[in-house]
């Protein structure tokens, strides 16, 4: 398949370009596009063969449901059953933005989108290109992250090109994704809403608006555990390199990382350390990837998926990772890092 590459300037969007991509999307094509979180691979939710091609291009298991993306709140009427007060508060405060809501689905939502569940995931992205594209396509757009299943989500057009060139109809290049981690998935179908996947909107931000919120647990390697977000059970974000997360007090973590690095180097491995700015000068390693700094983990969130891909490009065997605090965006960051490490975590 020939993939058309369309480059757009986010600050000065060429309407003609977006319109041509929107037409392909509406008419049953697959279009990768930037959002504020990560790139998505879109298809018209009402075109079953287009939606199937998303699953094929990604190598995604069919029991993993897709997020429906909208460009105006009005579209909710045709997608979900009813919207309660808490949900409205969430929508008013965090949409458009990096938050996905799980709600009971309207009967016209095809089963292929929801993997047969009676709920549907909906998101209203804030990225100007995503907004315009969905608006011009004039349909709700199903879009998982635009990566091969199991790989880190794409935060740059290059990541999408590496994974999906020749497998999709269009790739819209809108530069880098600002947030760098996927949206928060918030289940609004139980009395106390549940965060199924931490993401761009933090636990603290949500609690501040609607009070008590639970965080889905059991997101671990227990094979008998059936997570509420089906996607959480699959291997994720995994580079070829073996990642080990080291958590604990700052100085103990540094000591442990240096000790482990030395041992691995002696065995002839290509070793790297991924840490925060504050730790950099104390780390004894040839290859140090500075993720961000403790004052603002937003930069770390922005960098993480790029680095996970870079480890493979740089042919690294082993990476020791300084754990970040789980507060704020740190919760989503740790969730992705721990998964990338297949929960290989050392506490010191």
Closest distance between Mg ion and the C-beta of residue 144, in Å? 5
Contact between 65 and ligand TXA (CB under 6 A)?
yes
Residues 83-102 that bind ligand TXA (CB under 6 A): 98, 100, 102
CA distance 210 to 192: 10
Residues 180-199 that bind ligand TXA (CB under 6 A): 182-183, 185, 196-197
Terminal Cα distance for the chain, rounded: 51
- Compare residues 96 and 330 and give the one whose CB is closer to ligand TXA: 96
Closest distance between ligand TXA and the C-beta of residue 9, in Å? 21
Contact between 348 and ligand TXA (CB under 6 A)?
no
- Compare residues 178 and 247 and give the one whose CB is closer to Mg ion: 178
Query: Is the distance from CB of 144 to CB of 58 less than 8 angstroms?
Result: yes
- Partner interacting with residue 119 (select from Mg ion, ligand TXA, none; CB below 5-8 Å by kind): ligand TXA
Contact between 100 and Mg ion (CB under 5 A)?
no
Contact between 184 and Mg ion (CB under 5 A)?
no
Task: Choose among 277, 295, 291, 347: nearest CA to 319.
Answer: 291
Among 24, 31, 40, 333, binds ligand TXA (CB under 6 A): 40
Angstrom distances, CA of residue 89 to CA of 112, 124, 206, 211, 223:
29, 14, 10, 11, 36
- Partner interacting with residue 261 (select from Mg ion, ligand TXA, none; CB below 5-8 Å by kind): none
Query: Is the distance from CB of 321 to CB of 244 less than 8 angstroms?
Result: yes
Contact between 229 and ligand TXA (CB under 6 A)?
yes
- Extract the runs of DSSP E, i.e. beta strands, from the chain: 4-7, 31-33, 40-44, 67-69, 99-104, 119-123, 141-142, 170-173, 184-187, 194-197, 214-215, 242-247, 271-276, 287-292, 318-322, 345-347
Residues 132-151 that bind Mg ion (CB under 5 A): 145
Closest distance between ligand TXA and the C-beta of residue 67, in Å? 5
Q: What is the dihedral of CA 253, 258, 264, 270, to 10 degrees?
A: 100
Per rule CB under 6 A, count of chain residues that contact ligand TXA: 31
**Backbone torsion region of residue 96, taken as left when φ is above 0, otherwise alpha when ψ lies between -120 and 50, otherwise beta:** beta
Q: Which stretch binds ligand TXA (CB under 6 A): 143-151, 207-215, 313-321, 332-340?
A: 143-151
Contact between 122 and ligand TXA (CB under 6 A)?
no
CA distance 124 to 76: 10
Query: Is the distance from CB of 155 to CB of 173 less than 8 angstroms?
Result: no
- Site residues for Mg ion per CB under 5 A: 145
- Where on the chain is the footprint of ligand TXA (CB under 6 A)? 35, 37-38, 40, 64-67, 98, 100, 102, 114, 117, 119-121, 123, 125, 143-145, 182-183, 185, 196-197, 228-232
């Amino acid at each position: 398949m020939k993939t058309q590459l369309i480059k757009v300037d986010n600050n000065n969007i060429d309407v003609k370009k977006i319109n041509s991509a929107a037409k392909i999307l509406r008419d049953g094509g697959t279009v990768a596009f930037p959002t504020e979180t990560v790139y998505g691979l879109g298809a018209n939710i009402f075109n079953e063969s287009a939606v199937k091609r998303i699953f094929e291009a990604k190598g995604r298991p069919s029991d993993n449901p897709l997020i429906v993306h909208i460009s105006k709140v009005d579209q909710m009427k045709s997608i979900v059953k009813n919207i309660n007060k808490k949900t409205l508060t969430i929508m008013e405060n965090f949409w458009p933005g990096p938050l996905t809501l799980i709600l009971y689905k309207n009967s016209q939502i095809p089963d292929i989108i929801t993997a047969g569940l009676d709920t549907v995931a909906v998101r209203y992205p804030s990225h100007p290109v995503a907004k315009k594209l969905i608006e011009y396509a004039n349909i709700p757009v199903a879009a998982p992250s635009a990566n091969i299943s199991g790989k880190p989500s794409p935060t740059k057009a290059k990541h999408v090109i590496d994974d999906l060139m020749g497998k999709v109809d269009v790739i819209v290049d809108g530069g880098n994704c600002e947030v760098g981690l996927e949206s928060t998935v918030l289940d609004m179908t139980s009395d106390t809403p549940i965060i199924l996947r931490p993401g761009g909107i933090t636990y603290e931000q949500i609690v501040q608006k609607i009070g008590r919120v639970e965080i889905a647990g059991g997101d671990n390697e227990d094979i008998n555990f059936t997570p509420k977000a089906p996607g959480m059970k699959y291997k994720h974000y995994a580079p070829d390199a073996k990642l080990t997360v080291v958590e604990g007090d700052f100085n103990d973590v540094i000591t442990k990382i240096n000790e482990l690095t030395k041992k691995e180097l002696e065995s002839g491995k290509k070793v790297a350390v991924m840490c925060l700015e504050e730790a950099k000068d104390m780390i004894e390693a040839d290859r140090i990837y500075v993720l961000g700094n403790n004052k603002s983990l937003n930069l770390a969130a922005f960098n993480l998926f790029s680095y996970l891909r870079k480890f493979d490009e740089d042919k690294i065997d082993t990476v020791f990772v300084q754990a970040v605090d789980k507060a704020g965006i740190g919760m989503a960051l740790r969730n992705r890092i721990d998964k990338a490490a297949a929960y290989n975590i050392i506490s010191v």
